[in-house]
Amino acid sequence: MAFRDPALAAITGYFAGSQIVVSLPKEADWVVVDAPAGLQGYKLTDYLHAVDKVLVPLVPSVFDMAATEDFLNSIRGEPRSVRAKVGIVAMRVDPRTRAASMLEEFLKHFDIPIVSYLRNTQNYVNAAAAGVTIFDPPRAKHRRDLEQWSSLIKWVEKK
């Protein structure tokens, strides 16, 4: 955010420490909480009840799936209304590949949808280094990435 041009739409950082559940900012249009990967127990339940949606970024590698399995298992104990808030973002993968099939097979056991597949591209790295997002102008430069984000955005906006 330090590299961001002030002429672009504002993105504000907010640090809440362990008090995020009780101190979510009310004035924001959107709040993205980057929760710790090992979140479990009552803290996980508190987070799940405080938010509208949970996106779990997951790379289709054996190591990443194994590391995410405990988290996904802990969600199984939540009521269906809470589990319906959770979606997977398949990271750095083409949906037509064997890796995507492996990820889909792994996720069948959890009944959690893949809401988007985001391709492996340097566009995200380059945009961040320039203090911009793929949603900032010039948007034509990121057309393929924006297309992949459309299903994710629709899922997040769905009530």
CATH of the domain at 110: 3.40.50.300
Residue 3 inside a domain? The answer is no
Percent of the chain with pLDDT over 70: 93
Q: What is the pLDDT of residue 14?
A: 73
Residue 147 inside a domain? The answer is yes
Residue 66 inside a domain? The answer is yes
Residue 74 inside a domain? The answer is yes
pLDDT in tens, 82-123: 889 999 999 999 999 999 999 999 999 898 999 999 999 999
Average pLDDT, rounded, for the chain: 88
Residue 126 inside a domain? The answer is yes
DSSP state string for the chain: -TT--TTSPP------GGGTTT---SS-S-------TT--HHHHHHHHHH-S-EEEEE-SSHHHHHHHHHHHHHHTTS-HHHHTTEEEEEES--TTSHHHHHHHHHHTTTT--EEEEE---THHHHHHHTT--TTSSPGGGGHHHHHHHHHHHHHHH--
Domain count of the fold of the chain = 1
Q: Which domain holds residue 29?
A: 17-157
Residue 4 inside a domain? The answer is no
